[in-house]
Amino acid sequence: MSTPSETNECPVGNLAGFKAYAKHDILSGFLVFLIALPLCLGISLASGYPAIAGIFTAMIGGLVATFLSNSELTIKGPAAGLIVIALACVTEFGYTGGQDPEKDFQAYRLALGVGVAAGVVQILFGVFRTGVLGELFPNSAIHGLLASIGIIIISKQFPIMMGLHPDGAPLELLARIPSFIINMNPRVGLIGVVSLLIVVSYVWIKNPKLKRIPAPMMMLFITVPLGMFLGIGEAGTYTFGSQVFDLGEKFLVNVPKNMLNAVTFPDFSGLTSDTGIRYVVLFALIGSLESLLSAKAVDEIDPWRRKTDMDRDMLAVGLGNTLSAFIGGLPMISEIVRSKANIDNGARTRFANFFHGLFLLVCVALIPSVINHIPLASLGALLVFTGYRLASPKEFLHIWHLGKDQFIIFISTIIGVLATDLLKGIAIGIVVNLIIHVINGVPFRSFFSLNAEVEIDDDKSATIHIKDSAIFCTWIPLRKQLHGYLKEGRQVTLDLTQTKLVDHTVMSNISDWEKEYKENGLELTIQGLDLHKPMTESDISTHKKKEGEEE
């Protein structure tokens, strides 16, 4: 991929950009489509929705949201991180997992009604410029939320990878993994294991030509013919080791031959129920949070360092979600994995997202019969790998290296989510964070307001003197000041001399803003941090005032 220094250009997603960079964006859009197709199908089925629901979402994300957001390299579509919410929503509305198709369809329609309402809430988030709320939550609690989602995905999808469909709570299912391996459907399980080996081993493949084919699509190239050879979609049974196992279409993806027949309109009658209200809040808050975090992460790796207007992007996601749910789709976000692939594949503008949606539309419209040969075990394996990446040992080690305080918050959030639900789980993580701050001597008033004085030195500089503490609760007003002075072109000194504690979330955000100022030819100087002791060797760990330095 050409670098900015090689091209001396900053691609823009307008009509001129569409013409100038079409060859780059079409190629990247096609390669992202190859990744998105199996992921969209897998996420839909794992969520208790029809397989095509995720395709609808990605199509709307590409064909509609592209023109509403200014985020040049994000890919909009369904996300594994929302599987847990979507599945819980349809389950509480009466989803039976295929035992009663009529009840399942009604639960799906009720969930679509929730999706439309959540999309409207996200539109309001964008209109009232609340995109900054994504920075309100403590970092370790967010990482704990994502890790817990990964654990739940693994627990739910591992049995499917083995050709089984048991019910149970996540921890119960994890404990039963040995029994799933022992009791797996051998032919289906073989496909699941082969699929997992392919996606896991792809990181060791060095051949650049081979790696142009994304791992999910390579998986399908191998497992679809293998499934046909083993006859897993043919009605009947077979005997293996004196045990009889089922075969049939229930082990394959099922999408309608005519895409229009799959369009499903929502039922809004569940919105006034406790379930409806709770999941509107969950979809809107967690979906918005994930989307904002992903867009922020993509901005960090954009070769041209372009910045997303988070409020505009939230408006695009909200409108996309409203339309997607209205025709039968899953919730969408700005998705980080596909966005990263989009950058790696040489995308220049937002039209790569458009082309990815267009290729999905063409695929589902023209070759649905090919899609219906995809084994569910392959999609289950792909999601097991996705869940592992969300909850990998590296993530646990990363948080541990930030300090015991952050690890306690991280683990508390995970346990809270697994024991209750996502909303209560992240609330538990936040409460644990506040308790740790109290133990560390943070004044109670710091939980509610930023105690800061601003000194305007001259027309081009300012000093912000922070007192008491700088913690995640009061980051947003501090961020507002930093943003305002950046727009005014001021050099800023952030004086932390009088703070008792600067937590990890603020340290991490300050580090990001130092880069932001530097990129704009300005300097953000941190003063007084030498009076604090970091919890660990990490520069962004929590910093506490050294003993003897108290005033």
Residue 118 lies in a domain: yes
181 plus 261 within the same structural domain: yes
DSSP string, 409-460: HHHHHHHHHHHS-HHHHHHHHHHHHHHHHHHTT--GGGGT---EEEEEEETT
Q: Say if residues 352 and 50 touch (Cβ distance below 8 Å).
A: no
Does pLDDT of 15 surpass 60? yes
Percent of the chain with pLDDT over 90: 87
The pLDDT of 507-516, averaged and rounded, is 93
Residue range 117-151, pLDDT digits in tens? 999 999 999 999 887 777 788 999 999 999 999 99
d(CA 121, CA 127): 10
Handedness of CA 275, 413, 152, 301 (dihedral sign): positive
Structural domains in the chain (count): 3
Tell me whether residue 8 is in a domain.
Answer: no
> Is pLDDT at 213 greater than 50 in this prediction?
yes
Give the contacts of 40 (CB within 8 A, at least 6 positions apart): 54, 55, 57, 58, 77, 78, 360
Q: Residue 448 is part of which domain span?
A: 444-545
Structural domain contains residue 321: yes
CA pair distance 549, 544, nearest whole angstrom: 10
Question: 168-193: per-residue pLDDT in tens?
Answer: 889 999 999 999 999 999 999 999 99
- Mark whether 138 and 250 lie in a shared domain: yes
Within this chain, do residues 53 and 143 fall inside the same structural domain, yes or no? yes
Residue 93 has pLDDT above 50, yes or no: yes
Helix (H) or strand (E) holding 525: strand 524-527
Regarding whether 400 and 381 lie in a shared domain, the answer is: no
Residue 497 has pLDDT above 80, yes or no: yes
Q: Which residues, 6+ apart, have CB-to-CB distance to 548 below 8 Å? A: none
Res 209: pLDDT: 82
Kindly state whether residues 87 and 151 are assigned to the same domain: yes
Where does the pLDDT of residue 205 fall: very low under 50, low under 70, confident under 90, or very high at 90 and above?
A: confident
- Do 491 and 414 lie in one domain? The reply is no
Residue 3 has pLDDT above 70, yes or no: no
In this prediction, residue 2 has a pLDDT band, given cuts at 50, 70 and 90, of very low
**Token pair listed for 465:** 């003197």
Query: Which pair of structure tokens corresponds to residue 164?
Result: 């089984």
The partner residues of 125 in beta bridges, in order of sequence, read none
Mean pLDDT along residues 197-204: 93
Task: Classify strands 243-247 and 452-458 as parallel, antiparallel or unpaired.
Answer: unpaired
Distance of CA 114 to the CA centre of its chain: 20
* Residue 421 belongs to some domain of the structure: yes
pLDDT at 6 over 60: no
Do 424 and 350 belong together in one domain?
no
Q: Give residue-wise pLDDT tens across range 281-338.
A: 999 999 999 999 899 889 989 999 898 999 999 999 999 999 999 999 999 999 998 9
- Whether residue 480 is contained in a domain is answered as yes
Could you tell me the pTM of the whole model? 0.91
* Averaged pLDDT score across all residues of the chain: 93
Condensed to tens digits (0 to 9), the pLDDT of residues 434-469 reads 999 999 999 999 999 999 999 998 778 999 999 999
Does the pLDDT at position 379 exceed 50?
yes
Q: Are residues 72 and 125 in the same domain?
A: yes
pLDDT for position 5: 44
Residue 24 in this model has a pLDDT that exceeds 70 = yes
Query: Which of 439, 474, 509 marks a domain boundary?
Result: 439
> Is 408 domain-assigned?
yes
Record the tokens describing residue 23, joined without a space: 């060859």
Which of 439, 472, 507 is a domain's end point? 439
Query: Token pair of 295, please?
Result: 């867009």
Which residue is listed with tokens 């937002």? 350
Residues 398-412 have pLDDT tens digits of: 999 999 999 999 999
Phi, psi of 277 (to 5 degrees): -65, -45
The rounded percent of the chain whose pLDDT value lies above 70 is: 98
- At which of 439, 454, 477 does a domain end? 439
Lookup result for tokens 């032919």: 187
The predicted pLDDT at position 551 comes to: 53
What pLDDT, on a 0 to 100 scale, did the predictor assign at position 549?
64
pLDDT band at 1 (very low <50, low <70, confident <90, very high): very low
**Domain check: are 268 and 137 in the same one?**
yes
27 and 101 part of one domain: yes
**Residue 5 CA from chain centroid, whole number:** 31
Separation of CA 538 from chain center? 25
Looking at the fold, whether 410 and 366 belong to one and the same domain comes out as no
CB atoms within 10 A of CB 166: 14
Task: Confirm whether 13 is domain-assigned.
Answer: no
Assigned domain for 196 exists: yes
Are both 275 and 407 inside the same structural domain? no
What is d(CA 74, CA 400) in angstroms, rounded to the nearest whole number? 30
Q: What pLDDT score does 461 carry?
A: 93
Of residues 504, 456, 450, the one with CA closest to residue 484 = 456
CATH assignment at residue 461: 3.30.750.24
